[in-house]
Amino acid sequence: MTSKKLLPEKTGDMSDWYTTLIQLADLADYGPVKGTMIFKPYGYAIWEQVQKTLDKSIKEKGVENVYFPMFIPMSFLEKEKSHVEGFAPELAVVTHGGGEKLQEPVVVRPTSETIMYSSFSKWVHSWRDLPILINQWGSVVRWEKRTMPFIRTSEFLWQEGHTAHATHEEAKAMQEWAMKTYSDLYKEYFAMSGYVGYKSKAETFAGADTTLSYETMMPSGKVLQSCTSHDLGQNFAKAFDVKFQDQNSIDTYVWQTSWGLSTRSIGGLILAHGDNNGLRLPPKLAPVQIAIVPVRAEDKMLDYCKEISDVLTSINVRVKTDARGDSSFGFRLNRWEVKGAPLIFKIGEKEVEAQTITVKRRDTQEEVTLDRKNLVDDVKKLLDEIQSTMLLQSKTFIEENTREAKNYDEFKKILAEHKGYIKVYWNDNPDIEKKIKEETKAKSSCSPIDWPEGNGVDFFTGEPATRQWLFAQSY
């Protein structure tokens, strides 16, 4: 990234603040190829917390982890017309290998539907072979022209779940389970509120019947598609001849889903919670939940720090003592402020003598004094408070920045003055959505699943409409 510098105001140039913070917090660096990114240990540790939590939920559902090759024959993508059309501008294609031109070009995995479903066609014969429930942790490549670390890179890390079912009802239930799992993860761990809803026809995943997404809002007012879950219907099954003999000995195509969450989520975490002092990490995802910073590296202080660290580690709190002699007390405090540790413990002679701890909450900047004897209970309470406070802040922000427009003129006026989400009645027309995007740079985010149908008027055409949608400018 750029050379070390002071963190600019978040309310100024958001892009400058964001890229500078990623460097100062030691999260990532640019890769040698344009659009690629190197995950540094602290940044990758956040992803590991996400992996650990999500992988547990996936396995509890009975989904098993697999790994498929990253090279996919071009002919595989061409079997599903809308799929290849949707990804064509982003494909990275290998034409030579081992010094020779390949007989058939291969694509570096943009997503794995095609290569997985080619195998499904060999694995599925009878209803007894279903359901297939698999998940892959890996990376994909989508050649981005406009990049932003974590948010939009040419290669990114993710998980992708893929399932095949005997009935459409089973597939729909799986699609909905995946999105609920993601929604719970975002709220309970990322402390990021959002909307769950269906994507428009223009924004539906290439090759899917429907796409569910979790949509979050950043402080700039721009929104982020944070994960997706797709009902693939029988589209890929027909393209790859994935069918089975049911219990009545009738051949039929399987019903499929795919769903994924990527390291884009970390970009959203940085943008949503960071402030003018650096990162603010929710405790459940913070690699270091408590940073213990002694005033000096003296034996008495270090022994006290170790006592505290041992107690907290024994209850599975992630703790790090920063007693580096090559930096001042103030510099070390600032380091953990920037890195977003939820709690920072300040330990000096006064604390050692009184058997207390001076604690700074990263979320509110408040300082409190804890008694060493009540350490475990007080720390648990503080971490829970920080987690819930950050979620409430996110929820309040989205609610305050979701406005309603009855017509296109109101829509444009709100967008010019406020940004954020705009709630409208709309009939989901791809041509109209394209026109709106060209004129305003806003597009549909989703139609929230918990919003009931009503008797409204399409904000653009004035025609009757029953579904409400959210529009916004996006990353």
Question: Residue 28 class from Cβ within 10 Å (0-12 exposed, 13-18 middle, 19+ buried)?
Answer: buried
State yes or no: pLDDT of 325 exceeds 90. Answer: no
The phi, psi pair for 379, rounded to 5°, reads: -65, -45
Average pLDDT of 389-410? 97
For residue 99, the 8-state DSSP code is T
Average pLDDT over residues 146-154: 91
Q: What pLDDT score was predicted for residue 84?
A: 67
Arithmetic mean of pLDDT over the chain: 95
Indicate the SS3 state at residue 408: helix
Task: Give the pair of three-digit tokens for residue 375.
Answer: 């350490």
CA dist 227 to 13, 166, 384, Å? 26, 25, 25
Counted residue by residue, the chain has a size of 475
Cα-only R_g, the chain: 25
Res. 222: pLDDT tops 90:
yes
> pLDDT for 225-269, tens place per residue?
999 999 999 999 999 999 999 999 999 999 999 999 999 999 999
Q: Can you give the pLDDT at residue 85?
A: 74
Q: Is residue 43 over pLDDT 80?
A: yes
Range with the poorest average pLDDT among 88-102, 149-163, 450-464: 88-102
Residue 391, helix vs strand vs coil? helix
Q: Tell me, what's the pLDDT at 1?
A: 42
Phi, psi of 12 (to 5 degrees): -90, -120
Identity at 309, one-letter amino acid code: S
- pLDDT, tens only, 341-388: 999 999 999 999 999 999 999 999 999 999 999 999 999 999 999 999
Residue with the bigger pLDDT between 203 and 83: it is 203
Portion of the chain with pLDDT greater than 90, in percent: 92
pLDDT band at 164 (very low <50, low <70, confident <90, very high): very high
Instruction: Look up residue 215 and give its DSSP letter.
Output: E
The arrangement of strands across the sheet holding 356-361 comes to 319-321, 290-294, 343-347, 356-361, 367-371
Give burial (CB, 10 Å; 0-12/13-18/19+) of 348: middle
Cis peptide before 131 (omega within 30 of 0): yes
| pLDDT tens by residue, 110-147 | 999 999 999 999 999 999 999 999 999 999 999 887 88
Nearest to 256 by CA among 205, 181, 183: 205
Question: Which residue segments constitute the domains of the chain, with CATH numbers given?
Answer: 14-273 (3.30.930.10), 290-382 (3.40.50.800), 402-473 (3.30.110.30)
**425 has a pLDDT exceeding 80:** yes
With contact defined as beta carbons under 8 Å apart, do 403 and 421 qualify? yes
pLDDT over 60 at 451, yes or no:
yes
Place of tokens 């051949």: 251
For residue 4, pLDDT beyond 70:
no
For residue 405, is pLDDT > 80? yes
What confidence score (pLDDT) does residue 11 get? 84
Look at strands 155-165 and 132-141 and give their pairing.
antiparallel
pLDDT for 2 equals 39
**Does residue 81 have a pLDDT over 80?**
no
